[in-house]
């Protein structure tokens, strides 16, 4: 009995100081499935990236003349380096894939509607930061693909003029641009992502998760925070944890069975590689119209995403009441997939004037 009282007193004292009981707030019962857990799985993938990235950072040297050799050391000799690098690679793919699926679920169920327009824009910013992390990480490999990716980075800086000054080697002579990309990859972008995610989570807490779009054909959007429900956020965390464990198992399997590839040593003056799958659609546009196409196609995609809640202003959530918007963005998704497939099978083109 004494031990039970001490245990209760400990948890009460801890809750008084850190507010654990606040996690018991109610969430809609329809939010316990995989579709509403994808955002949490994305966050878990990011945590895996942070842990494996910290470990690899103990052995990686971001100077251009030593970067590739240090990565080879991580793969071949560093304790758990081979596994950490492969898990890092697959977690990066999983983070972007689940983020995209999460965004598609939000789009399909109308969860971006009033009062959640701002949180949709926050989600678009999180997607941009995720892509920035992947791009900087791919350059840090410092193989041929990494060199060509960095060369694109430099050329884009020239296209953007003064706006792209930070991305140019001429920004400073004291620190190589590869080293500055490393700093962005391990500190600037993760911090920004964490801050923006905190805003994302806070808005979800204040507004609640979107109502069930399939409750009826006339289901409408409204604030759900504080509504009675048998489901709680702690239960939702349990569902997220289950799906995350399944995802982690898949990533561990892939890290062992399908190791990440490291390309040949970089050679300046040639352009022979293609980027990761997420960059292939705009790579096709770049093939057609040059570097400017890469910049403006990327901008157009993010603008198209950002305007979703301002294009679809009706209060209705059911997909049958929003056919026009869903068809338009479905066609956009199919176009991007088609461009990516075409880029994968089509011969490459020179863009950099090498």
Residue at 32 is within a domain: yes
Q: Is the pLDDT of residue 9 over 80?
A: no
Mean of pLDDT over the chain: 89
Residue at 305 is within a domain: no
Most confident of 20-34, 237-251, 288-302: 237-251
Quick one: what percent of the chain has pLDDT higher than 90? 66
Give the HSE-up count for residue 20: Cα atoms under 13 Å, Cβ half-sphere.
8
Residue at 321 is within a domain: no
Residue at 38 is within a domain: yes
What is the C-alpha separation between 89 and 150, in angstroms, rounded?
18
Sign, CA torsion 169/171/173/174: negative
pLDDT tens readout for residues 199-249: 999 999 899 889 999 999 999 999 888 777 777 777 888 889 999 999 999
Return contacts of 65-68, CB within 8 angstroms, 24+ apart. Answer: 67/140, 67/142, 67/178, 68/141, 68/142, 68/143, 68/265, 68/266
Total residues found in the chain within this entry: 354
Residue at 334 is within a domain: no
Give the CA diameter of the chain.
78
Residue at 152 is within a domain: yes
For 158, the domain range is 25-271
Backbone angles phi, psi at 280, to 5 degrees: -60, -40
Backbone angles phi, psi at 344, to 5 degrees: -70, -35
Q: What pLDDT does residue 3 have?
A: 58
CB 100 within 8 A of CB 128: no
What is the C-alpha separation between 190 and 129, in angstroms, rounded?
8
Residue at 30 is within a domain: yes
Burial 2-21 (b: 16+ CB within 10 A, else e): eeeeeeeeeeeeeeeeeeee
Q: What is the CATH classification number for the domain harbouring 60?
A: 1.20.810.10
DSSP code for 346: S
pLDDT tens readout for residues 146-180: 998 888 888 777 777 766 677 777 788 889 999 99
Weakest-pLDDT range from 61-65, 99-103, 202-206, 287-291: 287-291
Residue at 354 is within a domain: no
CB 81 within 8 A of CB 241: no
CB 280 within 8 A of CB 337: no
Tally the domains of the chain.
Answer: 1
Q: What pLDDT does residue 314 have?
A: 94
What is the C-alpha separation between 252 and 145, in angstroms, rounded?
25
Helices (H) and strands (E) in the chain, counts: 13, 0
* Two structure tokens written together for 9: 């007193």
Quick one: what percent of the chain has pLDDT higher than 70? 93
């Amino acid at each position: 009995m004494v031990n039970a009282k001490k245990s209760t007193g400990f948890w009460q004292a801890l809750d008084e100081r850190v507010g654990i009981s606040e996690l018991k707030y109610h969430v809609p019962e329809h939010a316990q499935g995989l579709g509403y857990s994808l955002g949490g799985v994305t966050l878990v993938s990011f945590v895996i990236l942070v842990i494996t990235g910290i470990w690899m950072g103990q052995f990686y040297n971001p100077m251009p003349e030593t970067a590739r050799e240090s990565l080879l050391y991580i793969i071949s000799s560093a304790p758990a380096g081979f596994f950490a690098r492969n898990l890092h690679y697959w977690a990066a793919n999983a983070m972007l894939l689940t983020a995209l699926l999460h965004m598609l679920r939000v789009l399909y169920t109308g969860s971006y509607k009033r009062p959640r327009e701002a949180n949709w824009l926050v989600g678009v910013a999180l997607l941009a930061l995720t892509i920035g992390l992947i791009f900087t990480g791919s350059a840090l490999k410092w193989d041929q693909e990494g060199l060509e990716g960095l060369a694109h980075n430099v050329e884009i800086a020239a296209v953007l003029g003064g706006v792209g000054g930070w991305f140019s080697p001429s920004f400073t002579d004291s620190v190589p641009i590869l080293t500055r990309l490393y700093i962005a990859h391990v500190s600037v972008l993760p911090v920004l992502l964490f801050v923006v995610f905190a805003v994302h989570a806070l808005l979800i807490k204040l507004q609640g998760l979107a109502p069930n779009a399939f409750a009826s054909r006339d289901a409408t959007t409204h604030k759900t925070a504080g509504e009675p429900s048998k489901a709680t956020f702690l239960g939702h965390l349990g569902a997220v944890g289950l799906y995350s464990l399944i995802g982690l198992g898949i990533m561990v399997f892939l890290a062992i069975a399908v190791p990440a590839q490291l390309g040949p040593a970089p050679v300046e003056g040639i352009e022979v590689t293609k980027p990761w799958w997420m960059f292939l659609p705009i790579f096709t546009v770049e093939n057609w119209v040059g570097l400017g196409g890469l910049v403006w196609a990327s901008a157009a995609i993010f603008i198209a995403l950002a305007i979703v809640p301002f294009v679809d202003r009706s209060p209705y959530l059911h997909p049958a009441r929003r056919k026009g918007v869903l068809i338009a963005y479905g066609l956009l998704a199919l176009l991007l997939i088609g461009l990516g497939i075409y880029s994968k099978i089509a011969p490459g083109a020179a863009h950099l004037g090498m």
